[in-house]
Amino acid sequence: MQKSNQEKWILYSTCDEDSYSELRALDITSNDRVLAVTGSGCRTLSLLACNPKSLISVDFSPGQNYLLELKLAAIRALSYDMLLKFFGVEDCSNRWEIFSSFEDKISPQAFAYFSANRWAIDKGILFTGRHELFYVRFVAPLMRVLYGKQLKQIARAANLEEQREIFNKHISGFLWNLMIRVGFSPLSIQIILNDPKYLVEMNVNVGDYLIERLHHTFNNHLVRDNNWTSFMFYGKYVEYQGKRCLPHFLLEENYHAIRQATTKFEIVTTNLIEYMKKMPEHSIDKYSLSDVTSCIDTPTFTSLINEVVRTGANQGKLCYRNFLNKQLIPSDLEDVLQRDQELSDSLYHDDLAFAYSFEIAQINKIENQVADTRTVAGIS
């Protein structure tokens, strides 16, 4: 298969976001019409586990949407134990044979895409995105060399106090800070992502920011219960007392929920804003927009938020994350997009994917429309 630039190998293959935060923010119900950014597909699948009325997952990258197709097909076709083996969580010797059985379960384009990348299927698809390979091939091996003993102790830590002592006394310090600053410098991030559209603007010092956030997560969240820090520093999902730390969508109860969902589900490959411009007004109840601010500039972000206001239903909810580029809800839209400061702050503290801050808002159209009507009528 000839790959176009749009069909380059996937950037994300597993969760680097905490879906529990998304679900707290959006409070999905069976009546909700949900719009999501696909990314790795994991967050979309967590939303699907809530069985909303409809769910549209949009991404400009065909590969990311092909991955979502593959994950959903695997969930629907395989037993839970076999699913973990196929995805790469557990050992498996016949992943290619399993994948071949999906030919009539995913689109011809998706099947051709992964057939041209057999290495990723054989390795276990969750571990093969360009982003994930940075941790599997570089970060985790380096951590084993520099902090192998301490990482083993942290994985077995009985409680948070024990983990804090190990991290603060034996990991945190000059070498740790230097490694974070070099490993997550703007140049390093450009090399890792290898995709210019993901770095339009950066308005944070990434190295210093991540040092502070890693200090926060090691002091507030047990690594053995945190699937993302587990993946980052061990290159796998660690197991503690017979229980493996897994992303939300891969927990057995959510595997069953996804299989049983009756949601009207659609995967769309296009520019998100252009797609939203074609949607009717008041057609979406909940927006799950990932860290979309990391790959768009400020004018584009403003256009996106204006489309949220136009297409959003009254009392709907918006959730997006900030990482490389901190974008707040525009001040002229604060009346209609009413930010939940308390929840945003709480998620920033509790989120297991420690790098993100949150913007959570409720769409309040009726009150805003009443105010506009009173102004036009000259009523104070």
* C-alpha span between 32 and 26 (Å, rounded): 10
* C-alpha span between 284 and 45 (Å, rounded): 18
Per-residue confidence band for 308, with pLDDT thresholds at 50, 70 and 90? very high
Nearest to 138 by CA among 189, 177, 89, 85: 189
Q: What is the pLDDT of residue 373?
A: 35
Residue 264 above 50 pLDDT? Answer: yes
Is 304 within 8 Å of 273 (Cβ atoms)? yes
Residue 195 above 60 pLDDT? Answer: yes
Annotate 154-187 with b (16+ C-beta within 10 A) or e (fewer): bbebeeeeebbebbeeebbeeebbebbbebbeee
- The rounded percent of the chain whose pLDDT value lies above 70 is 91
Mean pLDDT along residues 158-184? 95
Residue 332 above 60 pLDDT? Answer: yes
Structural domain spans, the chain: 19-62+249-363, 130-235
Residue-averaged pLDDT of the chain: 91
* C-alpha span between 375 and 23 (Å, rounded): 37
Is residue 108 left, alpha or beta, with left meaning phi > 0 and alpha meaning psi from -120 to 50? alpha
pTM of the model: 0.92
CA–CA distance from 117 to each of 64, 110, 298 (Å)? Answer: 14, 11, 35
CA–CA distance from 270 to each of 3, 65, 289, 335 (Å)? Answer: 17, 10, 14, 30
- The rounded percent of the chain whose pLDDT value lies above 90 is 83
Say if strands 284-288 and 312-322 run parallel, antiparallel, or are unpaired. parallel
Give the CA diameter of the chain.
Answer: 74
* C-alpha span between 298 and 124 (Å, rounded): 37
Nearest to 175 by CA among 216, 205, 142: 142
Q: What is the pLDDT of residue 294?
A: 85
Q: What is the pLDDT of residue 370?
A: 41
Specify burial of residue 53 (Cβ count, 10 A radius: 0-12, 13-18, 19+).
middle
Is 278 within 8 Å of 259 (Cβ atoms)? no
Nearest to 95 by CA among 105, 106, 104, 84: 84
Is 310 within 8 Å of 342 (Cβ atoms)? no
* Amino acid in position 33: R
Residue 371 above 60 pLDDT? Answer: no
Q: How many other CB atoms are there within 10 angstroms of residue 127's CB atom?
A: 21
129 contact partners, CB below 8 Å, separation of at least 6 = 9, 10, 11, 12, 13, 14, 40
Report the CATH number of the 19-62+249-363 domain. 3.40.50.150
pLDDT tens digits, 42-51: 999 999 999 9
Please report which helix (H) or strand (E) contains residue 65, including its range.
helix 62-77
CA–CA distance from 34 to each of 55, 217, 313, 343 (Å)? Answer: 5, 30, 11, 20
Residue 374 above 50 pLDDT? Answer: no
* Amino acid in position 223: V
Say if strands 239-240 and 264-269 run parallel, antiparallel, or are unpaired. unpaired
Q: What is the pLDDT of residue 380?
A: 43
* C-alpha span between 180 and 139 (Å, rounded): 10
173 contact partners, CB below 8 Å, separation of at least 6 = none
The residues that bridge with 240 in the sheet, in sequence order, are: 243
Per-residue confidence band for 378, with pLDDT thresholds at 50, 70 and 90? very low
Which residue did the predictor score with more confidence, 296 or 79? 79
Q: What is the pLDDT of residue 184?
A: 81
Residue 197 above 80 pLDDT? Answer: no
Is 55 within 8 Å of 44 (Cβ atoms)? yes
Residue 219 above 80 pLDDT? Answer: yes
The residues that bridge with 318 in the sheet, in sequence order, are: 287, 361
Residue 208 above 50 pLDDT? Answer: yes
* Both tokens assigned to 367: 């009150």
Per-residue confidence band for 325, with pLDDT thresholds at 50, 70 and 90? confident
Q: What is the pLDDT of residue 354?
A: 92
Q: What is the pLDDT of residue 7?
A: 66
Mean pLDDT along residues 327-333? 92
Q: What is the pLDDT of residue 193?
A: 65
The SS3 assignment for 220 reads: helix
Q: Which of 183-187, 200-204, 314-318, 350-354 has the lowest mean pLDDT?
A: 200-204
